[in-house]
């Protein structure tokens, strides 16, 4: 799957992801911008710092993700209600 990172909101632009895991449409309440096929990043603590807003990358969804509940992970907002833990990989 390929995505774009936008302030820890990930937009799916390619690949097959179960549609129950992400928001078909989401409006950022701060900018009133609508995004399609997005989810909040649940794996903030392990997300590579070299990936910046607007970057495209490939990811997988681990079968047994490690819960990330540190204060930093809970501080980012707004994000869609649906969140997914992902792992980045090079294609």
* Contact in structure between 39 and 80 (CB atoms under 8 Å): yes
- What DSSP assignment string belongs to 14-73? ES---GGGSEEEEE-TTT--EEEEEEEES-GGGS-TT--TT-EEEEE--SSPPP---HHH
What number is the average pLDDT over the span 18-22?
96
Distances (CA, A) of 24 to 37, 52, 58, 72, 74: 5, 23, 19, 26, 23
Identify the domain containing residue 6 by its residue range: 2-89
The number of folded domains in the chain is 1
28-77 confidence digits (pLDDT tens): 998 899 999 999 988 887 888 898 888 999 999 998 887 766 655 555 56
44/80: higher pLDDT: 80
Higher pLDDT, 44 or 2: 44
Task: Report the pLDDT value the prediction gives residue 46, as an integer from 0 to 100.
Answer: 82
Rounded Cα distance between 16 and 14, Å, is 7
pTM of the model: 0.79
């Amino acid at each position: 799957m390929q995505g774009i990172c936008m302030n820890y909101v990930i937009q799916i632009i390619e690949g097959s992801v179960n549609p129950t895991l992400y928001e078909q449409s989401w409006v950022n309440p701060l900018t009133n911008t609508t995004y399609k096929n997005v989810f909040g990043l649940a794996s903030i603590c392990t997300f590579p710092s070299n990936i910046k807003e607007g970057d495209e990358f490939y990811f997988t969804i681990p079968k047994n993700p490690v819960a990330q509940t540190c204060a930093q992970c809970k501080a980012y907002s707004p994000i869609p209600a649906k969140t997914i833990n992902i792992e980045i990989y090079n294609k």
